[in-house]
Amino acid sequence: MGTPAAFGPLERADALCVRRGVRLTPQRRRVLAILCSASRPLGAYEILEAMRDGSRPLAPPTVYRALDFLLEQGLVHKLESLHAFIGCRHPDHPHSGQFLICRTCGLVTELEDEAICESLRSAADETGFRPERRVVEVLGVCACCVGKGVEG
């Protein structure tokens, strides 16, 4: 058996769920697989459409319940500005989400910058604010689109 880092995102999710004593059901795993294989963030209805295989109708609550579980386990992130979801690059430890989102091509880069986290912690402490969720979403244009002269 290889190290968890050598596993793909689904194998890492399986291992994490076993360690945490929670169930990654086939439905939840399928939602995660769709998000991890997507080239861009997906909305719940896009996930629902990708899950349809003609065998039986699926309802939106099916996807929302799976997404709630995956969010709770830190396996996916919700991008509020896009009303969409992406798989987490490093679900093995809790972290604040920081995302660079290209408004031209849709590329999302997940960061994990402790300096940003510390700056937010410090600002919140100074004002007496108690953050419940620390997510930073920066909308702009990625280097590839800038290089191509494509800026929306």
Q: Domain check: are 107 and 37 in the same one?
A: no
Q: Domain check: are 85 and 129 in the same one?
A: no
102 is in an annotated binding site: yes
pLDDT at 1 over 60: no
88 is in an annotated binding site: no
Q: Domain check: are 99 and 85 in the same one?
A: no
Helices then strands, counting H and E runs in the chain, come out as: 6, 5
105 is in an annotated binding site: yes
Residue 122 structure tokens: 């410090």
Structural domain count, the chain = 2
Instruction: Decide: helix, strand or coil at residue 128.
Output: coil
144 is in an annotated binding site: no
Asked which of 4-8, 10-14, 82-86 is least confident by mean pLDDT, the reply is 4-8
Q: Which domain holds residue 76?
A: 1-90
CATH number reported for the structural domain that contains residue 46 in this entry: 1.10.10.10
Q: Domain check: are 75 and 40 in the same one?
A: yes
pLDDT at 2: 42
Kindly provide the residue ranges of all beta strands, DSSP E only, lying in the chain, ordered along the sequence: 76-79, 84-87, 97-102, 108-111, 135-140
pLDDT at 13 over 50: yes
Please state, in angstroms and as integers, the Cα–Cα distance from residue 78 to each residue in 42, 50, 74, 135, 149, following that order: 10, 18, 10, 9, 29
HSE-CB for 91 with a 13 A CA cutoff: 27
Residue 132 structure tokens: 């419940």
CATH number reported for the structural domain that contains residue 146 in this entry: 3.30.1490.190
pLDDT single digits (tens) 18-48: 999 999 999 999 999 999 999 899 999 999 9
Percentage with pLDDT > 70 across the chain:
94
Residue 93 structure tokens: 């430890």
pLDDT at 4: 47
Q: Domain check: are 7 and 65 in the same one?
A: yes
pTM, two decimals, is 0.84
Give the integer Cα–Cα distance in Å for 48 and 62. Answer: 8
